[in-house]
């Protein structure tokens, strides 16, 4: 009986190192879940799929393709953007 009391007061043992690993796994899981659900699409990724990362010419092409502007408006605005960004030729051909 004296031996059991002595072992109980020696401390938690090496298994106590397991708990920080559990909390790190929980934190990593929460961050991964939030990145894949809530935070998805709110900031531009490395592929540049966020609206802030698209060039004005790409936005103009998207607006033309979706039917927001007609062909005349597209070419008029593209010529202004070509002058502003120093590109040559219509349609982005150098």
pLDDT in tens, 44-78: 544 555 555 678 888 888 999 999 999 999 999 99
Residues 65, 34: Cα–Cα separation, whole Å: 32
Token pair 């043992």: residue: 13
Residue 89 vs residues 32, 80, 86, 93: alpha-carbon distances, Å: 45, 12, 10, 5
Residue 57 confidence (pLDDT): 86
Residue 50 vs residues 29, 46, 62, 84, 87: alpha-carbon distances, Å: 24, 9, 13, 23, 23
Residue 74 confidence (pLDDT): 93
pLDDT at 28 over 90: yes
């Amino acid at each position: 009986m004296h031996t059991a009391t002595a072992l109980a007061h020696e401390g938690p043992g090496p298994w106590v190192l397991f708990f920080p690993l559990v909390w790190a796994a929980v934190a990593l899981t929460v961050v991964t879940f939030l990145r894949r659900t809530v935070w998805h699409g709110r900031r531009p990724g490395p592929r540049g799929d966020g609206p802030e990362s698209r060039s004005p010419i790409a936005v103009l092409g998207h607006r033309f393709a979706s039917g927001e502007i007609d062909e005349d408006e597209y070419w008029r605005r593209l010529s202004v953007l070509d002058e502003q960004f120093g590109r040559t030729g219509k349609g982005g051909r150098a």
